Chains A and B, each alone.
Chain A
Amino acid sequence: MARTSCELAIIGGGPAGMAAAARAAALGVDTIVLDEQPAPGGQIYRAIETVQASRADDLRILGEEYAEGAALAAAFRASGAAYEPGSVVWQALEDGRIGVSCNGAAHMLSAQRILIATGAMERPVPIPGWTLPGVMGAGAAQTLLKACGLVPDVPVVIIGTGPLIYLIAVQFARAGVPIASVLVAAPEIGMTDALRVLPGALRSGRTLLKGLAWRSELRGMGVQMVHGVSQPVVEGSGRAEAVSYTQNGMRHRIAARLVLLHNGVIPSTQLALGARCKQAWDAGQHCWRPQTNDWGATSHARIAVAGDGAGILGARGAASLGRLAALDAAVRLGKLDPARCDRMASEDRSELARQHGLRVVLDRLFPPAAELLAPTGAGDIVCRCEEITVAELQDAVTQGCTDANRVKAFTRCGMGPCQGRMCGAAAAEVIARMLHQSVDQPGQFRVRLPVRPVPLAELAGLQI
């Protein structure tokens, strides 16, 4: 990476990052997009360019929502914003300094403004057996399908909640993957349920119909769906061999060599946390997110967050907030008149309001399954990096370590390479349950550089 400074550094090349970059570049802002992926798209539109150009079968499998990413990617490519694929950002600071690894070397980039557009991550599903080989996130499996058309060739069991599990099941079924069962840890939601729960569902009718359509497509293809599942456990010695679960008071067990877990998605907050941007607990989405305003601005003047990283809103909302954050950056950089900014913002502000309205309905209809948030068995693993169990966390609390960071320091939970990305929420659940607190009370693990692991040799070679 040749550049050492820029006006706007955008971290992440998903819908928010692509849309923000295209808008910022059009306004004359010197913009660099740092993206971990080899090509634009983020997770939701991963590999959209190659799929659209040369993988027609996969495009059909992935569906029309995925295809929407092509226009964003094309606009981004044409925008003139600098693009640094394969760049892993391991630090973003309040003063605009960014630490990034790219092509085997570490660099420092100094940006006048930073837009964090790192999107969402799957909410970890730490059920008993989740660390066995043969168990993975449903989104991770979907990523392999998008990136390289790679699909499982053994029967798959999908466990979890949320609209995405139906979508992923549909995509796999279309691709010919044998699906042994979709085990839904929630009651089946129909359109009438939705309308009874929330009049607002009317506005969201199209999306809800789509969800119903996925389910009927699955039924048409003969995929077994079991709703109202509880206490799922992945069993096996050395690898996943079976899944057991309870339904209607009865325990069931099915063979499973590949188990996909999903309990919704949550904002990826590590970079903002590392920068010490103020965070807020989002009760509706049951997760932490950075405090942001309508333009994505955080508690730090130079740092904004757009996209699902600022709160889960989906790809369309992400692109809109990305464009709004770009307008705000342009104003703050003196490249755009505030009055003109307001005029340019109106369309995306309306879209954002629409997406918020829709999201409230989805959040109400598909809350995360509480029992998938944290395991309860003494020997169940919470922190997979350091192999820390529920019992060890409980012992720390008993010894007087009564918040997340004290428990972390006492047990090493969250001290491994993922810095608590995978265990932070579950650890907080365990602590809060013990202390009879709400789950936000134990707080979040502190995050320090490097937010992503950095090879020592790269750090040694950093030019300063």
Chain B
Amino acid sequence: MKTRAIVIGGGLHGTSTALHLARKGLDVLVIEKNSVGRHASGVNAGGVRQLRRHPAEVPLSVAAMDRWLNLDAFLGPDLAAMCEFTGHVGQVAVAETEAEMAGLAAREAELRGLGWTHEELLDQAALRRVAPALSPHCVGGLISRRDGHANPYRTSQAFRLKAQREGVRFREGTRVLGLVQAGAGWRVETSDGAFDSDVVVNCGGAWGWQVAAMVGEVLPHVDFAPSMMVSARVQHFLDPVVVGTGRKLSFKQTENGTVVIGGGILGIPDLVAETADPVAERLVESARTVHDLFPIMRTATIVRAWAGLEARMPDEIPVIGPSTMVANLWHAFGYSGHGFQLSPIVGSLLADLIVDGKSPLPLEPFRAGRFNEGPVAAHPGTA
């Protein structure tokens, strides 16, 4: 009989993990309380970014980028097209002051010291060449040229369809209520009855801490709701994704001309109602940043705002790895607002770790036990 795996959570990481477990021959069921891609996976800004990653995430991010740039091979041509991925437009962190520029230079030097060369400093003239619409007061930037963006909801559906084609089953609208050890494995109790499994993977996103708590495991619990807004169509003026250095901003123009503005302005999460609301008073900061950085946007119109529910870890990197408490339970959640780009790779590494006992890339920095080993903090200069 095949080894059975249940993945809790039908976000991108759950779906990717399920796909890769199925490829390794497991019988996989994804249990999703709403619908696939309903929360952070489907409503994030869609940035496919290696730029300014935490050093621990860099190897994963670079490997993920290889997969994004070969989506045809990963998903097949039809599902690859569904993702609406655009690569090689670059993501640029823009410096508005010499002090910000010095910070970017320090970051670039640190990364180079670690042996990575995908981030490149831009002087004012070079910045102007990649993003002519930026306000002339910007002094320079840091670019990762392979980066780009994709449509997050369509990507989450493409991942689901790929997983389904490879034998993964999905139960949407099914809520996990409890995890009970049964022999060496698990009985997963849900709103639709109980399901037995040898392995359980917790990809619960903003609800991941609740799944951990079902076995008495206490993991950090900070839910947050990054918000975004989008403009009416504007004539094409920008190719790369522009992110702020001193200010909260993520800014990109999509194929159809609309401009998606995010960057960490927070909405109000409502974990109980399972929704999140953007807050107009807070979006004012975004509007002012865009007003200052992109003069062309001063006549644009905002047509919609939204927010997504996500879990944030104290050191702003995810938990990936085995439970600290029990066997055959694995965690992969808490991407702290930047898990989208990592989704093609983490599921693959985690499947290797679960099935073969070894991941080809280091996952040690993401171990769940790190919060019990002393204080943790975000790495400076990263996002």
Chain A positions near chain B (C-beta within 8 angstroms): 91, 99, 108, 386, 399-401, 403, 406, 409-410, 412, 415-417, 419, 448-450, 453-457, 459-460, 462, 464
Question: Beyond A406-B35, A449-B280, A459-B283, is A399–B157 a contact (Cβ under 8 Å)?
Answer: yes
Contact B278 A453 (CB under 8 A): no
**Once the chains bind, are B232 and A108 in contact (CB under 8 Å)?**
no
Contact of B281 among A108, A406, A417, A419 (CB under 8 A): A108
User: In the complex, what residue of chain B is closest to A402 when comparing beta carbons?
Assistant: B35
Name A464's contact: one of B160, B230, B284, B306 (CB within 8 Å).
B284
Q: A456 and B297: CB pair below 8 A?
A: yes
- Chain B interface category by residue count: 20 to 34
A359 and B228 alpha carbons, distance in the complex (Å) = 43
Assuming the A-B contacts A417-B232, A460-B291, are A453 and B303 also in contact, with contact meaning beta carbons closer than 8 angstroms in the complex? yes
Q: Is the interface of A mostly helix, strand, loop or mixed?
A: loop
Say whether B379 faces chain A, with CB atoms less than 8 Å apart: no
On whether the beta carbons of A456 and B231 are closer than 8 Å, the reply is yes
Q: Is B89 an interface residue (CB 8 A)?
A: no
Asked, given contacts A99-B280, A464-B281, whether A459 binds B157 with beta carbons under 8 Å apart, the answer is no
Question: What is the bound-complex CA distance between A417 and B304, given in angstroms?
Answer: 8
Residues of B309-337 whose CB lies within 8 A of A: none
Minimum Cβ distance to chain A for residue B34 (Å): 10
A399 cross-chain contacts in B, Cβ below 8 A: 157, 161
Docked complex Cα distance between A449 and B307 (Å): 11
Please judge, given known A-B contacts A410-B153, A456-B298, whether A91 and B304 are in contact too, CB under 8 Å. no
**Within 8 Å CB of A450, what residues of B?**
280, 302-305
Shortest Cβ distance from A418 into B: residue: B303
Once bound together, how far apart are the Cα atoms of A226 and B154, in whole Å? 46
- Does B112 sit at the interface, judged by CB under 8 A? no
Known interface pairs A456-B231, A460-B287. Does A91 touch B280 (Cβ–Cβ under 8 Å)? yes
Q: In the assembled complex, which residues on chain B have CB atoms less than 8 Å from the CB atom of A456?
A: 231, 287, 290-291, 297-302
Q: Which of B276-292 contact A (CB under 8 A)?
A: 277-278, 280-281, 283-284, 287-288, 290-291
**Does B42 lie at the interface of the complex (its beta carbon under 8 Å from any beta carbon of A)?**
yes
A419/B298 contact (C-beta < 8 A), A99-B280, A409-B153 known = no
11 A-B residue pairings within 8 Å (CB atoms): A108-B281, A399-B161, A448-B277, A449-B278, A453-B303, A456-B290, A456-B301, A457-B287, A459-B287, A460-B290, A464-B284
Chain A residues contacting B280 (CB-CB under 8 Å) are 91, 99, 108, 449-450, 459, 462
Contact between A449 and B305, CB atoms less than 8 A apart: yes
Find chain B residues with CB under 8 A from A448 CB: 277-278, 304-306
Chain B contacts for A449, CB-based, 8 A: 278, 280, 305
CB A333 to nearest CB in B, in angstroms, measures 25
Contact B301 A417 (CB under 8 A): yes
Most chain B CB within 10 A, of A415, A450, A459, is at A459
Residues of B within 8 A of A99 (CB): 280
A457 with B291: CB separation less than 8 A: yes
Name which of A415, A450, A456 has the most chain B CB atoms within 10 A of its CB: A456
Q: Which residue of B lies closest to A419 (CB)?
A: B304
Determine whether the beta carbon of B284 is less than 8 Å from that of A454.
no
Contact of A416 among B153, B154, B303 (CB under 8 A): B303
Cα A455 to Cα B231 with chains together (Å): 9
User: In the assembled complex, which residues on chain B have CB atoms less than 8 Å from the CB atom of A460?
Assistant: 284, 287-288, 290-291
Would you call B299 and A455 a contact (CB within 8 A)?
A: yes
In whole angstroms, what is the CA distance A438 to B298 when docked?
44
Interchain CA distance A406-B230 in the complex, whole Å: 18
The list of the 8 closest CB pairs from A to B, nearest first, reads: A459-B287, A460-B287, A409-B153, A460-B291, A453-B301, A464-B281, A417-B303, A460-B288
Q: Are B161 and A400 in contact (CB under 8 A)?
A: yes
A295 → chain B closest CB, angstroms: 26
The answer, among B157, B256, B281, B299, for a CB contact under 8 Å with A401, is B157
Q: In the bound complex, how far is the Cα of B283 from the Cα of A403, in angstroms?
A: 29
Cβ-closest chain B residue relative to A91: B280
Q: Are B277 and A453 in contact (CB under 8 A)?
A: no
B301, A400: Cβ atoms under 8 Å?
no
B298 and A457 contact, CB distance less than 8 A: yes
Query: Which B-chain residue is minimally distant from A420 (CB atoms)?
Result: B304
A448 to B279, CA, bound (A): 10
CA A399 – CA B278 in complex, angstroms?
29
A459 and B302 contact, CB distance less than 8 A: yes
Q: Which residues of B contact A410 (CB under 8 A)?
A: 153-154, 157
Residues from chain A with a CB closer than 8 A to the CB of B230 are 415
B263 to chain A: closest CB distance in Å? 15
Across the interface, do A457 and B284 meet the contact criterion of CB distance under 8 Å?
Answer: no
| Chain A residue at smallest Cβ distance from B170 | A400
Question: A387 — nearest CB in chain B belongs to which residue?
Answer: B256
Residues of A within 8 A of B42 (CB): 409
What's the Cα separation between A412 and B232 when bound, in Å? 13
For B282, the closest partner residue in chain A by CB is A464
CA of A357 to CA of B153, assembled, Å: 46
Among B153, B287, B305, the one with the most A-chain Cβ atoms within 10 Å of its Cβ is: B287
Q: Give A91 to B278 CA distance when docked, in angstroms.
A: 11
Question: A454 vs B304: C-alpha distance in the bound complex, in angstroms?
Answer: 9
Query: Which A-chain residue is minimally distant from B290 (CB atoms)?
Result: A456
| A403-B172 Cα distance, complex, nearest whole Å | 12
Contact B302 A455 (CB under 8 A): yes
- Complex CA–CA separation, A399 to B231 (angstroms): 28
Contact B300 A455 (CB under 8 A): yes
Report the separation of the CA atoms of residues A416 and B231 in the bound assembly, to the nearest whole angstrom.
9
Interfacial residues of chain B within 12-62, with CB under 8 A of chain A in the complex: 35-37, 42-43
Interface residues of B in 219-250 (CB under 8 A from A): 230-232
Contact with A along B196-237 (1 / 0, CB 8 A): 000000000000000000000000000000000011100000
Residues of B153-167 whose CB lies within 8 A of A: 153-154, 157, 160-161
CA distance A416 to B35 in the complex (A): 23
CB distance from A425 to the nearest CB of B (A): 19
Q: Which residues of A contact B154 (CB under 8 A)?
A: 410
Which of B284, B288, B290 has the most chain A CB within a 10 Å cutoff? B284
B228 to chain A, nearest CB (A): 10
Contact A462 B231 (CB under 8 A): no
B306 to chain A: closest CB distance in Å?
A: 5
B35 to chain A, nearest CB (A): 6
Complex contacts, B37 vs chain A, CB 8 Å: 409
- Measured CB to CB, the closest approach of chain B to A184, in angstroms, equals 36
Q: Which residues of B contact A91 (CB under 8 A)?
A: 280
CA distance A400 to B172 in the complex (A): 11
CB distance from A450 to the nearest CB of B (A): 6
CB distance from B129 to the nearest CB of A (A): 25
What residue in chain A is nearest B231 (Cβ atoms)? Answer: A456
B281, B284, B298, B302: the one within 8 Å of A453 (CB): B302
From residue 68 to 126 of chain B, which have CB atoms closer than 8 A to chain A? none
A401 to B278, CA, bound (A): 24
Query: Smallest CB–CB gap between B47 and chain A, Å?
Result: 17
Point out the residues of chain B lying under 8 angstroms from A403, CB to CB: 35
| Residue of chain B at shortest CB distance from A414 | B304
Q: Which residues of B contact A108 (CB under 8 A)?
A: 280-281
Closest chain-A Cβ to B233's Cβ sits at a distance in Å of: 9
Residue of chain B at shortest CB distance from A464: B281
Q: How far apart sit A417 and B35, CA to CA, in the bound complex (Å)?
A: 26
Q: Which of B153, B160, B299 contacts A457 (CB 8 A)?
A: B299
**A400 partner, pick from B160, B256, B281, beta carbons under 8 A:** B160
A99 to B298, CA, bound (A): 20
Extra contacts, 13 of them, besides A453-B303, A459-B280, A464-B281 (Cβ < 8 A), are A386-B256, A399-B157, A409-B37, A409-B43, A415-B304, A448-B278, A448-B306, A450-B280, A453-B232, A453-B301, A456-B298, A460-B287, A460-B290
